[in-house]
């Protein structure tokens, strides 16, 4: 019985890691689409999200099947619970990549303005958090996972700064209002991506140590 | 909270074989504690220590302490019959005596000379009610206990214990001879009994341990490897060996 369960868990791990790869790539591509105003790239992000949505359901069904048929306990149980939660965080990150891609499409249809905020710097931070949390998941490293939470404050601060900058630009000149609002949304979406990356890292801590570190100020 | 039962540095040898190694354990009153572990880990031996049943086996040597309400059960001041009245055992296979339902339940009171105090019929009724057998059997108290279903027989054995007003119920795989429905009924009964009695259950069925007990001890090769809240043992065990056993990776 245990070998069957181990095989199911391995399969599940492969499934979730495959989703990780697609989601991570989509976040990268959506930001690149903003930078380059690449409508085609944005469309590809939006298109491939359907696959993420389908896999999310598959992963969830697989988790429910393992719970129902094998009644896992201890680290196996924690793995399933963590995968269920990480699965839904990944799906949300996928959606946020779509949202960013939609902003890229909107920006591409307008006259190009100078970016009021440093989207690249912010996205690099958010993506680094995402990568780190996924690496922590792959290597089951709680230490690495705990590092992610600390960066979340930095991304939050960037989002606040971006808000202030865009507010200032709008006050100065209303001509570029529509484009500026697109950038405001992008900043907000990146901040949300960082939040989901933090959630994933917290789930990795639970998975590896059995401690729920959510809502404790930071993940340390 | 003072433990109801406690072992301190308990060692037990069957001849040259050491079955328990320095086992220390505190069992909470009016709760269900389960002892799990693979065959031969010493869990049934430990259970049998609590009412000194191992001493019936030749060549057994025990050292360390076993305390019931803080008093050493090996103290000569505690008569063995009194200990076994206070600490009763439910076995794997229901073992009703080839007597009527009534006489089975009354048996212990007669043995312990308790039948002179109060109304025996009243005690029998109360004991059968405690295991939810009364409504089914009240009109058939004279029938042979051997004609009952396995589940009813196990309930009857528990009634027989309850009749002598014990404090601790030891259960050695009490459901292994029962089907899942009867198992569910006995587990329900255990919950009800835990309001009045301290229950220690030995089980191979880990899901049963997870379902019924508030605390769980995991034993391996005579060692008490880990002891703690059942939810911790099954969600986040501390010891790698516990983890391997409960997840089925052991052996």
* Model ipTM value: 0.73
Question: For residue B236, what are the contacts with CB-CB under 8 A and spacing of at least 6?
Answer: A74, A78, A209, A210, A211
Torsion angles phi and psi, residue B193, rounded to 5: -70, -30
CB-based contact, B207 to chain A, within 8 Å:
yes
Give residue for tokens 């006259």.
A111
Residues near A158 by Cβ (< 8 Å), separated by ≥ 6? A121, A122, A125, A187, A191
Structure pTM?
Answer: 0.83
> Three-state DSSP class for B210?
helix
Split at pLDDT 50, 70, 90, the class of B251 is low
Residues 43-82, chain A: which have Cβ within 8 Å of B?
71-78
Per-residue pLDDT of chain A (220 residues; tens, 9 = 90+): 467 888 999 999 999 999 999 999 999 999 999 999 999 999 999 999 999 999 999 999 999 999 998 889 999 999 999 999 999 999 999 999 999 999 999 999 988 888 999 999 999 999 999 999 999 998 999 999 999 988 999 999 999 999 999 999 999 988 889 999 999 999 999 999 999 999 999 999 999 998 888 887 544 4
Q: Could you tell me if B241 lies within 8 Å of chain A, comparing CB atoms?
A: no
A100/A193 Cα distance (integer angstroms): 11
Nearest by Cα to A186 from A69, A76, A81, A105: A105
Look at the block and give the residue holding tokens 């590092």.
Answer: A147
Across the beta sheet with B71-72, what order do the strands follow?
A: B17-27, B5-14, B60-68, B71-72
Asked if A210 lies within 8 A of B248 by C-beta distance, the reply is no
Residue of A nearest to B249 (CA): A2
Could you please report the per-residue DSSP string of A23-92?
Answer: HHHHHHHHHHHHHHT-HHHHHHHHHHHHHHHHHHHHHHHHHHHHHHHH---HHHHHHHHHHHHHHHHHHH
The C-alpha torsion from B105 through B111 and B114 to B118, rounded to 10°, is 50
User: What is the SS3 assignment for B237?
Assistant: coil
CB contact under 8 A, A74 and B207: no
Residue A1's pLDDT is: 44
Cα four-point dihedral sign A84, A85, A90, A92:
positive
More confidently predicted of A173 and B143:
B143
Which of A1, A2, A74 is nearest residue B234 as measured by Cβ atoms? A74
- Chain B: residue nearest A212 by CA? B236
Mention every residue, 6+ apart, whose C-beta is less than 8 A from residue A176: A113, A169
pLDDT digits (tens, 9 = 90+) for B66-79: 999 999 999 988 89
Q: What is the pLDDT of residue B101?
A: 97
DSSP calls for A157-191: HHHHHHHHHHHHHHHH-STTHHHHHHHHHHHHHHH
Give residues with Cβ within 8 angstroms of A171, minimum separation 6. none
Tell which residue, A88, A219, A83, has the closest CA to residue A143.
A219
């Amino acid at each position: 019985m245990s070998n069957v369960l181990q095989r199911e868990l391995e399969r599940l791990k492969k499934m979730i890691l495959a989703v990780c790869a697609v989601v991570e790539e989509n976040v990268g591509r959506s930001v690149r689409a903003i930078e380059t105003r690449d409508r085609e790239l944005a469309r590809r992000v939006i298109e491939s999200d359907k696959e993420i949505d389908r896999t999310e359901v598959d992963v969830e069904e697989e988790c429910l099947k393992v719970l129902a048929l094998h009644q896992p306990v201890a680290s196996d149980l924690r793995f399933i619970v963590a995968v269920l939660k990480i699965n839904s965080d990944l799906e949300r990150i996928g959606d946020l990549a779509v949202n960013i891609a939609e902003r890229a499409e909107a920006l591409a249809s307008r006259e190009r303005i100078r970016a009021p905020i440093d989207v690249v710097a912010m996205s690099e931070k958010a993506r680094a958090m995402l990568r780190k949390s996924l690496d922590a998941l792959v290597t089951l490293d709680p230490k690495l996972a705990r590092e992610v939470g600390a960066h979340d404050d930095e991304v939050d601060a960037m989002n606040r700064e971006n808000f202030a900058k865009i507010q200032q630009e709008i006050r100065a000149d209303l001509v570029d209002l529509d484009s500026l609002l697109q950038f405001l949304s992008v900043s907000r979406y990146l901040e949300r991506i960082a939040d989901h990356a933090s959630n994933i890292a917290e789930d990795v801590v639970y998975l590896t140590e059995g401690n729920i570190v959510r809502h404790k100020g930071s993940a340390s | 909270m003072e433990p109801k039962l406690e072992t301190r540095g308990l060692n037990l040898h069957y001849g040259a074989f050491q079955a328990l190694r320095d086992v220390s354990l505190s069992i909470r009153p009016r709760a269900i504690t389960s002892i799990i572990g693979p065959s031969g880990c010493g869990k049934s031996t430990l259970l049998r220590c609590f009412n000194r049943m191992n001493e019936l086996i030749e060549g057994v040597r025990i050292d360390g302490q076993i305390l019931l309400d803080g008093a050493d059960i090996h103290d000569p001041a505690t008569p063995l019959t009194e200990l076994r009245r206070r600490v009763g055992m439910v076995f794997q296979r229901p073992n009703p005596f080839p007597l009527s339902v009534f006489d089975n339940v009354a048996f212990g009171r007669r043995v312990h000379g308790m039948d002179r105090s109060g109304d025996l019929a009243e005690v029998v009724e109360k004991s059968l009610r405690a295991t939810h057998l009364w409504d089914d059997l009240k009109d058939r108290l004279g029938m042979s206990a051997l004609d009952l279903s396995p589940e009813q027989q196990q309930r009857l054995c528990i009634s027989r214990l309850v009749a002598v007003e014990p404090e601790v119920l030891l259960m050695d795989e009490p459901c292994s001879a029962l089907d899942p429905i009867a198992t569910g009924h006995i587990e329900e009964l255990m919950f009800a009994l835990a309001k009045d009695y301290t229950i220690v259950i030995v089980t191979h069925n880990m899901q049963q341990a997870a379902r019924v007990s508030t605390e769980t001890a995991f034993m391996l090769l005579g060692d008490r490897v880990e002891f703690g809240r059942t939810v911790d043992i099954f969600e986040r065990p501390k010891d790698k060996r516990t983890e391997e056993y409960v997840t089925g990776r052991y052996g």
